[in-house]
Structure 1
């Protein structure tokens, strides 16, 4: 992929582009960068799309902003608008995972005129997530630990990055993650997403997503997020909504079940939505 540099306010984003055709914006989550989409990019390009995969602020090869407040959700959304504007994209197809999905929801809610269709992986509408119940709260325990500066970093680095290595499927993936987060300032930047937006995780008064068809994809073995928020997301989408459950996959379903995820993406992004269930 060809790397471009995009200016958004005080940060410079590394944005990776390949392919030709309608533009698909891929937004990664924590603790990833654009490489988390390595199994999806070839499939989307082969299906006739141009893929645009940024490293979000503080991640990958993008610059790290100065303060925790610089990671607030409104600034993360503004970064994605800056990416679309930089490439002259009036309206994009959107695919996002984990923290990227939270950015994606807010982007689709605030700027529906810029999003053609949205595929949310793992994370449902913020209001559905906020009302996820006790089981979801228990699965999200790490978010509250991350609020204590230094503790999150210590937990992630401890025992030779044991927590980070446990997230990966293979030793190779684990080492890539460790190498990525070991770069100066990168681990704290990733955790600052949670520190800057802690209220978001219990917020229920989030506007509906209106005018954007949505595919919500959950995974059967996700240790961090229950199926419930994604299953109930249709209540917060005013328009076509479709739910899919990927079996035999964990939180990183795009890596655990790439063929299944790629099939869902290509099908939804190019499908006739007249028969989709309206939420």
Structure 2
């Protein structure tokens, strides 16, 4: 199931590249950031629910993903550039502040954006991935679950393994039959698989256990117990770095791609949390 065809997107030049961006609705702005190997289509169940609730929804394809530009240099995918993309996107849309919701690599970017630009986020919903310090310090089980972050540092071999047998390698790793057709279609475009892996290649320092600082906005963490890539402690320990409020929900028997595996439950949690937050500014 792809995004509703009525949710038209537009092309915006931000931070030296062009992003494909869904921008629909008229209310308080909610920014949705996807992860790897996804596109904005991972939010296909959340966007209609947010629109119905009266929000303006912004969902970009991040650099290298979906229908956005594909920078060739590995270093174009440094976290500093990814955070700068978000800031430039808000500038292009003339938005001073948003409610931020992010999953997987989008959550990594979301945490970094909150830590560097707290004035631009009224509240943050982090799905699956906790505070970067907690992720880096999560221990041996997290290192084992995140084995691929080291494999992805190698040249060419990860691409070969994931593409093997018409992307059977990716299907085995990802474990989501529902999303697999979308991944195959998106990553068959030349350069897009390498772009996604370059998120990992350009940021190996995310594995180093130094302190990244405190989040100075309210944060809501959502973790699913069926997550094959992440341990719960890297999310729950995030509370100690959230100085403006912390909420947490654990979804039992749900896998990593919670937005499509348990969309109604995720939508209920998301809307309930956002309704309780009062933005300090919207423009």
- TM-score w.r.t. the length of structure 2 is 0.93
Q: Does 1:243 align with 2:212?
A: no
Query: Unpaired segments of 5 or more residues in structure 1?
Result: 274-279
The alpha carbon displacement at 1:11 in A equals 1.1
| Equivalence for 2:121 | 115
| Equivalence for 2:160 | 154
Q: Following the alignment from structure 1 to structure 2, what is the Cα–Cα distance between the partners of residues 116 and 222?
A: 28
Q: Following the alignment from structure 1 to structure 2, what is the Cα–Cα distance between the partners of residues 6 and 190?
A: 20
Q: Following the alignment from structure 1 to structure 2, what is the Cα–Cα distance between the partners of residues 96 and 243?
A: 15
| Equivalence for 2:258 | 253
Asked if the contact 2:45/2:260 (under 8 Å) is kept, the reply is yes
| Equivalence for 2:180 | 174
| Equivalence for 1:222 | 227
Asked if the contact 1:17/1:52 (under 8 Å) is kept, the reply is yes
Asked if the contact 2:14/2:92 (under 8 Å) is kept, the reply is no
Q: Residue deviations 1:217-269, cap 9 Å, x none?
A: 00010000010100110011111101110112110011111111101110111
The alpha carbon displacement at 1:213 in A equals 0.3
The 3-state SS of whatever aligns with 2:226 is: coil
The alpha carbon displacement at 1:175 in A equals 1.8
Worse overlay, 47-56 or 2-11? 2-11
| Equivalence for 1:34 | 40
Question: Counterparts of 1:98-113 in structure 2 under 5 Å?
Answer: 98-113=104-119
The alpha carbon displacement at 1:178 in A equals 0.6
Given candidates 264, 272, 275, the residue that maps to 1:267 is 272
The 3-state SS of whatever aligns with 2:164 is: helix
The 3-state SS of whatever aligns with 1:209 is: coil
Q: Residue deviations 1:7-43, cap 9 Å, x none?
A: 1232111111112200000000000110000010011
Per chain length, whose mean CA-contact separation is higher, i.e. which structure has more relative contact order (CA < 8 Å, sep 6+)?
A: 2
Worse overlay, 9-18 or 32-41? 9-18
Query: Unpaired segments of 5 or more residues in structure 2?
Result: 1-6, 279-283
Asked if the contact 1:128/1:204 (under 8 Å) is kept, the reply is no
Runs of 4+ in 1 over 3 A off after TM superposition: none
Worse overlay, 194-203 or 264-273? 264-273
The alpha carbon displacement at 1:272 in A equals 5.3
